[in-house]
């Protein structure tokens, strides 16, 4: 998301205008009624690098699960990216789909 200009990590963790439009184009509503920040970093324990958290991260996860881009592994927090998820996210984020993630946890 950062490489695509959707997320700015230079001065913290913030969605850019393009990032907000990207979520809107996906039909993801980012309106927050609570105190939870729109975007914030959260350190991934397995990869040891930050991922998107906050309202935007939770909304993207819900959308990814509903769209079939990923499935939960067991009862934990681990996910497996599906073949469909690899294809769809590659198109949406300009990623290399040949690097597929089927069978990996994230």
pLDDT of 17:
94
| Domain enclosing residue 61, as ranges | 1-67
4 & 52 share domain = yes
5 & 53 share domain = yes
pLDDT of 19:
94
pLDDT of 78:
84
- In this prediction the pTM is 0.83
72 & 22 share domain = no
15 & 32 share domain = yes
Q: How far apart are CA 71 and CA 28, in angstroms?
A: 19
82 & 57 share domain = no
pLDDT of 64:
95
Joined together, the tokens standing for residue 104 give: 């990996």
Which residues, 6+ apart, have CB-to-CB distance to 62 below 8 Å?
none
Q: How many domains does the chain have?
A: 2
pLDDT tens series, the chain, 106 aa? 988 999 998 878 899 999 999 999 999 989 866 788 899 898 887 778 888 899 999 999 999 999 999 999 988 778 899 999 999 999 998 887 776 544 444 4
6 & 57 share domain = yes
82 & 61 share domain = no
5 & 25 share domain = yes
Which residues, 6+ apart, have CB-to-CB distance to 79 below 8 Å?
70, 71, 72, 73, 105, 106
13 & 42 share domain = yes
27 & 61 share domain = yes
């Amino acid at each position: 998301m950062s490489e695509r200009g959707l997320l700015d990590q230079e001065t913290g963790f913030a969605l850019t205008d393009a990032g907000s439009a990207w979520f809107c184009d996906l039909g993801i509503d980012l309106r927050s009624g609570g105190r939870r920040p729109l975007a914030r970093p959260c350190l991934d324990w397995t990869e040891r690098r930050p991922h998107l958290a906050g309202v935007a991260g939770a909304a993207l996860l819900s959308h990814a699960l509903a769209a079939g881009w990923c499935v939960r592994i067991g009862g934990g927090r681990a996910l497996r990216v599906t073949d469909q998820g690899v294809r769809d996210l590659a198109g949406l984020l300009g990623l290399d789909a040949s690097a597929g993630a089927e069978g990996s946890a994230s």
